[in-house]
Amino acid sequence: MENSFQQNADDLQTLLNQPPSVFDKPHNPYQQENNQPLQLTAMQLFDIPKPPGDPDLLVEVINILIHRLPYSREVIDQILYDTFYSHRFIQDCAGRHSNIQRQMLNLWFNLQLSLFPAHSATARFALIPDGHHSDWVRLIDEMVLPFMIAYQLPKPVA
């Protein structure tokens, strides 16, 4: 039995030492090939670890809410606890890739904007799904948050 184990180990080592064939599929399904942009589905992106240097949009949104909501810090903390931190979309995006965070935060913002019977199309259009993250953060700050403040949002959502 020990010889069989050693033979398997030797065979594996031999395979590992061989150069890869051009017909071999990459071992990492998310690996970039031929210097082409990496295209992932949402589920693939949801499962990959957050890369170093990837912006944390969740932290940026929290900072905007803390600094821009016109209430005392205690009231803001309670509002965020009741409406933000406890929501599934927010919990699911913590520690995820920034593109996943953006999509989950956009869902949360859209849900909040739908709570008030006012025309919120301008604020909703600011929730861009693509583009540079700094533009997305700026649009949240300049277009979405003023609407939310004007209509006393965020509110708890089931």
Residue 45, domain member (yes or no): no
What 8-state DSSP symbol labels residue 81? I
pLDDT value for 143: 96
Q: How far apart are CA 144 and CA 158, in angstroms?
A: 21
Residue appearing with tokens 């300049």: 142
Provide the pLDDT confidence category of residue 44 given band limits of 50, 70 and 90: confident
Mean pLDDT of the chain: 83
Residue 127, domain member (yes or no): yes
Domain count, the chain: 1
Residue 20, domain member (yes or no): no
More confident residue, 124 or 25: 124
Residue 80, domain member (yes or no): yes
Residue appearing with tokens 């942009």: 37
Percentage of the chain lying above the pLDDT 70 cut: 75
Residue 94, domain member (yes or no): yes
Residue 74, domain member (yes or no): yes
Residue 64, domain member (yes or no): yes
Mean pLDDT of 53-70: 95
Q: How far apart are CA 124 and CA 111, in angstroms?
A: 10
Question: For the segment 73-113, what is each residue's pLDDT rounded down to a tens digit?
Answer: 999 999 999 999 999 999 999 999 999 999 999 999 999 99
Q: How far apart are CA 95 and CA 89, in angstroms?
A: 12
pTM higher than the cut 0.85? no
Provide the pLDDT confidence category of residue 47 given band limits of 50, 70 and 90: confident
Range of the structural domain that residue 65 is part of: 57-150
Whether the Cβ atoms of residue 147 and residue 123 lie closer than 8 Å to each other? yes
For residue 33, what are its two tokens? 């090939």
pLDDT value for 8: 57
Whether the per-residue pLDDT at 41 is higher than 80: the answer is no
Residue 88, domain member (yes or no): yes
Q: How far apart are CA 148 and CA 87, in angstroms?
A: 17
More confident residue, 18 or 121: 121
